[in-house]
Structure 1
Amino acid sequence: MIQTKYLIIGGGVAGTTAAETIRQNDSEGRIIIVSDEPYRFYSRIMLSKPNWFLGKIPFEKIYLKTPEFYAENKIELLTGKKAIKVFAREKTVALEDGETIIYEKLLLAIGGCARLLAAPGADKKGVYPVRTLDDGKNIIGAVKTAKQAVCVGGGFVSFEMADMLKQAGLEVTVLLREPYYWANLLDEEAGAMIEEVMTKAGTLIFKNEEVLEVLGGESVEAILTKSGKNIPCQIVIAGIGLFCPVDGLRLEGVETKRGIITDEYLETSAKDIWAAGDAAEFQDVILEERPQVGTWANAQAQGRTAGLSMTGKKTKFELLSSYATSGFGLKIAFIGDARPSPDKEIIKRGSKQGGALGRLFLKNNRLIGGILFNRTEELAPLSKLIVSKADLSQNKNNLADPNFDLKQLLESGK
């Protein structure tokens, strides 16, 4: 049986940032990180970035912490260890190998898991999610001999991987279950803007389509779609979202729903237990809602907040969620609450024809979110406007004017 002051389940960005923050504020308390992966902290973001994937930068650059970092900061990293049960009352965590760890403070930074393709034949070699370093290694190996790839899904992973695979010289086909990318957030004009740049680059897109079966022997040879299309391929990328693995870790005494419920301090319903990162269903004090956010910046900031609170410096989590990506020459950014709903007003800024488009979301005359295409320089002023909670009822024409400098709204205090 192992005893520790601080126990962190998860060795990703939230867990590692928390451990580093704890050490900065407690020089002696024992810190243990339990990670079910066999690797030290690495960048999940780089898994779908061409520079790393195509060998333009050294493979080792994916590691963000050296072995010396853990030793110098007296952080014990237990790799290849899976936590299976948390006993909140007893303050113990059971590991799959039979070991038990007694803790004083616990952080649940368990991350998210990639949804796997649910179709006959999806277990064949060549069908990959894009979530772990092992996934990345497998895809890098497959790209060396593959000629054709299919990307399934209408979100970030599918979009970024389609771009990367095109740059690698493969023929790429995309299967979208919806009529365009991010169909729950965008309108037809924005969706057409993405389709235009992708098809211009030679990507084939099939909309309102799904995988019926993965064909081949031991390895994938083709995809059969629901409409009967037979698409030859040697690689299938499943970019169909994440889920929170709370069912895989039995949490006795910790409230969960879609994720692990926390307050604005990232504290759970159980004493001395915090949650951070993809798995945390937290109280957003800026947008006044309870989201789950699966972005790197969010996980990093939550790790820092949890680390401070675990050392007695109770800190409220305040960060406006955002995510930016690029592909096929298009820069895209999402910020705040950008989900269309009857109680929100949407202001269009720019146009597809002009090559730069924005969708701004207002609620009660207050800016709460936005989506930007080739307007990512406006991310900073929009963030400040959202956080300010300013009444923009007299400035809607300015918001709709693509030539209006949004910084003027900040300078005027309106």
Structure 2
Amino acid sequence: MSAPFVIIGAGQAAAQAAVSLRAEGYGGEIVMIGDETHLPYQRPPLSKAFLAGEMSADRLELKAPNFYPDSGIDVRLGTRAVRLLPAAKAVEIDGGIRIAYERALIATGTRARALPVPGADLEGVFSIRSIDDVARFRAVAQPGAKLVIVGGGYIGLEVAAKANRIGLDVTVVEGQPRVLARVACETISRYATDLQLAHGVRVLTSMGVSAITGTERVTGVELVTGEVLPADLVLAAVGAVPNLELAADASLAIENGIRVDAQARTSDPSIYAVGDVASFPSGLYGRRIRLESVQNAIDQAKAAAKAMLEGAVTYDPVPWFWSDQYDTKLQIAGLLDGFDRTECEGDVAAGRFCVRYFASERLIAVCSVNDPKSHMLARRALAAPLAQGSAA
């Protein structure tokens, strides 16, 4: 009897890989190892509907609880993979127990980047990466409480919107000259800032944080100017770090994440990696990329499942993302790194428009605000070179 396929991680990519293995006809044993105590669940609502209490925890679950035993998937929750042993083709979990594998799939995702300032470990400083994080946050997020969000990216602005809706007094502090500076042009940044200001959120840009103040519990956020913002709660929203330690310790190739090929295969032919933790070659953009998105988690997991069963697959997607803030839906198709000009179409004042990003006259990305049609057209336009390449 052959060893099982072992999936390390129990998030969106891990769950999709297990589902796809069964859909592809794999009848062998599947073992899924997750360090959380929750069955695989959606993460995007954590900073949106779930944070505001508009969605219950059971609605986050990707599959009904009985799906996994009914499908012959052995899900081991609250279990930490401590070592990956390629030579022995085994995963070591808590307690020194080893699980042999025929194929292993790493889907360990990311963790919140810690604030690199004194006081970041005080009670009342949060990140939003899990159901338990949100539960702890909601337990103390009473109306009127002062929340300081450090970081003006998508997560920071999404939390600002929901926290504002449930009655918190919100301030966003961003070190760059504008919010969304790394992921959007000035038009989008300005619109997002005006949206927050219109709802009463204070937004400070070009502003660094020097410390989180307090003794046992946070009382404020000290800015580099010396000003201290009073704070009952602080959210660290300064990005994420891929959980690649298992792979690195196992001497797998690392390059902005776990390096994989177009079949999601690592430098060890029996080990695959998918989702936020994996970097893969993009023919569309001519470089290696790592995507932190639901789209990538799902689609790359499907490709990996097929590849693990020796199916023919080449993973080269058009990236797409979305962000919900108040009644605004921002949708992004493509990657805008390296753009040299933009074109805006629509009515910015009315909150329905799109921005196209170009590099040397080539369309590389489109940001759509409350304009789903332009988003879908953008995805088709960006996919056209891929279709032409596969037909050539």
Partner of 1:395: none
CA distance in structure 2 between the aligned counterparts of 1:226 and 1:301, rounded to whole angstroms: 42
Rounded to whole Å, the distance in 1 between the matches of 2:66 and 2:366 is 41
1:122 to partner: Cα distance: 1.2
Per-residue Cα deviation, 1:225-252 (whole angstroms, up to 9, x for no partner)? 1112211121111111111121355442
Contact 1:322 1:335 in 2 (8 A): yes
Residue 296 of structure 1 corresponds to which residue in structure 2? 294
Partner of 1:63: 61
* SS of alignment partner, residue 174 of structure 1: strand
Identity %: 25
Asked whether 1:385 is paired with 2:384, we answer no
1:53, 1:347 → 2: CA distance?
35
Q: Say if 2:231 is the partner of 1:233.
A: yes
Quick one: distance in 1 between partners of 2:183 and 2:159?
Answer: 20
Cross-structure match for 2:366: 370
**In terms of mean alpha carbon deviation, does 262-271 or 169-178 score higher?**
262-271
**Structure 2 equivalent of residue 312 of structure 1:** 310
What TM-score does the superposition give when structure 1 sets the normalisation length? Answer: 0.88
What do residues 115-145 of structure 1 show as CA deviations (whole Å, max 9, x unaligned)?
A: 0112111111111111011101111111136
SS of structure 2 residue aligned to 1:119? coil
1:396 paired residue number:
none
Instruction: Name 1:130's counterpart in structure 2.
Output: 128
- 2:171 match: 173
Q: Secondary structure at the match of 1:326?
A: strand
Aligned 8 A contact 1:253 1:270 in 2: no
3-state SS of paired residue (2:211): strand
Q: Deviations over 1:48-73 (max 9, x none)?
A: 113x2333333321222232111100
Would you say the 8 A contact 1:87–1:253 is kept in 2? no
Alpha-carbon distance in structure 2 between the residues aligned to 1:267 and 1:248: 16
2:213 matches 1:215 = yes
Q: Could you tell me whether the CA contact under 8 Å between 2:143 and 2:167 is conserved in 1?
A: no
Letter in 1 for 2:206: N
> For 1:80 and 1:332, how far apart are their aligned partners in 2?
35
Q: Residue 197 of structure 2 aligns with which residue?
A: 199
**Structure 1 Cα separation of the partners of residues 309 and 99 of structure 2:** 19
**Which letter does structure 1 place at the counterpart of 2:155?**
V
Q: Is the contact made by 1:309 and 1:315 (CA closer than 8 Å) also made in structure 2?
A: yes
Judged with a 3 Å threshold, the aligned counterparts in structure 2 of structure 1 residues 90 and 57 are, in CA distance, closer, same or farther, namely closer
Q: Check conservation: 1:211, 1:226, Cα contact below 8 A.
A: yes
Aligned to 1:360: 356
Q: Residue 351 of structure 1: CA displacement?
A: 5.8
Residues of 1 paired with 2:302 and 2:243: CA distance? Answer: 22
Question: Which residue does 1:157 correspond to in 2?
Answer: 155
Structure-2 change in CA distance of 1:350 and 1:67 (3 Å)? closer
Following superposition, the deviation at residue 327 of structure 1 comes to 0.8
For residue 90 of structure 1, report the CA deviation from its aligned partner: 2.4
Partner SS for 1:67: coil
SS of residue matched to 1:319: coil
Shift of residue 27, structure 1, vs aligned partner: 4.9
Structure 2 segments unaligned to the other structure (5+ residues): 387-392
Moved more, 206-215 or 71-80: 206-215
- Secondary structure of 2:297's counterpart equals helix
Offset at residue 297 of structure 1 (A): 1.4
Question: Does the CA contact (< 8 Å) of 2:282 and 2:316 recur in 1?
Answer: yes
CA RMSD, 1 decimal = 2.1
Instruction: Give the Å deviation of 1:188.
Output: 3.2
8 Å Cα contact 1:35-1:81 kept in structure 2: yes
Instruction: Using structure 2 for the length normalisation, give the TM-score.
Output: 0.92
Q: Which is worse superposed, 319-328 or 346-355?
A: 346-355
Give unpaired runs (5+ residues) of structure 1: 391-414
Say whether 1:45 aligns with 2:44: yes
Contact 1:81 1:95 in 2 (8 A): yes
| One-letter amino acid matched to 2:277 | A
Deviation at 1:207, TM superposition (A): 1.0
Instruction: Describe the superposition over 1:53-99 as per-residue Cα deviations: whole angstroms up to 9, x where unpaired.
Output: 33333332122223211110010011122222222232122224211
